[in-house]
């Protein structure tokens, strides 16, 4: 269960990162701050 949750979280983070990269701009910095 732990491994599954971690995997899903990783996929979500990756998708979010890709979305941010697509938009770029100030949102990119904001996303990095939130992820950190």
3-state SS string over the chain? CHHHHHHHHHHHHHHHHHHHHHHCCHHHHHHHHHHC
Distance separating alpha carbons of residues 36 and 31, to the nearest angstrom: 9
**What confidence tens digit (pLDDT) does each residue in 1-36 have?**
667 777 888 899 888 888 877 776 676 677 677 766
Q: Where are the chain's structural domains? A: 2-35
pLDDT of residue 36: 60
pLDDT of residue 6: 79
pLDDT of residue 1: 60
| Residue 33, φ and ψ in degrees, nearest 5 | -65, -40
pLDDT of residue 27: 63
Separation of CA 15 from chain center = 6
Distance separating alpha carbons of residues 33 and 24, to the nearest angstrom: 14
């Amino acid at each position: 269960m732990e491994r599954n949750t971690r995997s899903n979280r990783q996929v979500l983070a990756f998708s979010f990162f890709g979305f941010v990269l697509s938009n770029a701009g100030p949102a990119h910095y904001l996303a990095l701050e939130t992820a950190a």
